[in-house]
Amino acid sequence: MTEIALFGAIEIGLVYALVAIGVYLSFRILDFPDLTVDGSFPLGAAVCAVLLIAGVNPWLASLAAALAGAAAGLVTATLNVRFKILHLLASILTMIALFSVNLRVMGRPNVALLMQDTVLTPFYGLGIPDHIVRPLVVGIIVAAVVLLLARFLGSEFGLAMRATGVNARMARAQGVDTDAHVYAGIALSNALAGLAGALFAQTNGFADVTTGIGTIVVGLAAVIVGETVLPARALALALVGCVAGSILYRLAVQLALSADAIGLQASDLNLVTAVLVAVALILPRLKAKASRSTKAAR
Amino acid sequence: MSFTRLLCAAAALAAFVGPIAAPVPAMAQSKTVAITAIVQHPALDATRDGIVEALKDAGFVQGQTLKVEYQSAQGNPATAAQIARQFAGSRPDVIVPISTPSAQAVAAATRDIPVVFTAVTDPISAQMVKSMEKPGANITGLSDMAPVGEHVALIREILPQVKRIGVLYNPGEPNSIVLVKALKDEAAKVGLSVVEASVPKSSDAQQAVRSLVGKADAVYIPLDNTVVSALESVIAVGQQAKLPIFSADTDSVARGTVASVGFDYFQVGKQTGAIVARVLKGEKPGDIPVALAKGTDLFVNPKSAAAMGVTLPDAVVKRATKVVGQ
Is A107 within 8 Å of B104 when comparing Cβ atoms?
Answer: no
Whether B204 and B253 share a structural domain? yes
Q: Is residue B287 part of a domain?
A: yes
CATH of the domain at B47: 3.40.50.2300
In this complex, which of B23, B76, B104 lies closest to A112 when CB atoms are compared?
B104
Q: What is the DSSP letter of A25?
A: I
| B contact test, residue of A3, A4, A291 with most B CBs within 10 A | A4
Domain that holds residue A160: 3-211
pLDDT of residue B1: 44
Give the distance from residue A127's alpha carbon to the nearest chain B alpha carbon, in angstroms: 15
Q: Which of A7, A201, A179 is nearest to A87 (CA)?
A: A179
> Which region among A54-58, A117-121, A255-259, B136-140 has the lowest average model confidence (pLDDT)?
A255-259
| CB neighbour class for A126 (10 Å; exposed up to 12, middle 13-18, buried from 19) | exposed
Choose the mutation target among B86, B98, B179 for the interface with A, i.e. most A CBs under 10 Å: B86
pLDDT value for B22: 43
Q: Is A140 domain-assigned?
A: yes
Q: Is residue B7 part of a domain?
A: no
For residues B247 and B194, the answer to whether their CB atoms sit within 8 Å is no
* Chain A 251-270, residues with CB within 8 Å of chain B CB atoms: 251-255, 257-262, 266-267, 269-270
The count of domains in chain B is 2
**Residue B223, pLDDT score:** 85
Q: Please state which of the ranges A227-231, A284-288, B260-264, B280-284 shows the lowest mean pLDDT.
A: A284-288
pLDDT above 70 for B19: no
Inter-chain contact A261–B20, Cβ cutoff 8 Å?
A: yes
Chain A residue numbers with beta carbons less than 8 Å from the beta carbon of B88 are: 4-5, 8, 131
On whether residue B126 sits in a domain, the answer given is yes
Mean of pLDDT over chain B: 89
Q: Do A8 and B78 touch (CB under 8 A)?
A: no
Mutate one of B4, B17, B111 to test the A interface: name it (highest A CB count within 10 A): B17
Query: How many interface pairs between A and B have CB atoms less than 8 angstroms apart?
Result: 156
User: Residue B279: which residues within 8 A CB-CB, separation 6 or more?
Assistant: B93, B94, B114, B116, B140, B285, B288
| B152 and B141 part of one domain | no
In this prediction, residue A295 carries a pLDDT of 66
Residues A200, B81: C-beta atoms closer than 8 Å: yes
Q: What was the ipTM of the complex prediction?
A: 0.87
> Is A245 within a domain?
no
| B168/B178 same-domain check | yes
Q: Which residues contact B141 (CB under 8 A, 6 or more apart)?
A: B103, B115, B116, B117, B118, B120, B123, B128, B129, B272, B275, B290, B291
CB-nearest partner of B101 from A1, A206, A284: A206
Whether residues A5 and B85 touch (CB distance < 8 A) is answered with yes
The band of B291, judged by pLDDT with boundaries at 50, 70 and 90, is very high
Residue B196 domain boundaries:
148-262+297-323
Does residue B131 sit in the same domain as residue B99?
A: yes
Q: How many domains does chain A have?
A: 1
- Determine contact: A280 vs chain B, CB below 8 A: yes
Instruction: Name the residue in chain B with its Cα closest to that of A108.
Output: B174
- Higher pLDDT: B104 or B29? It is B104
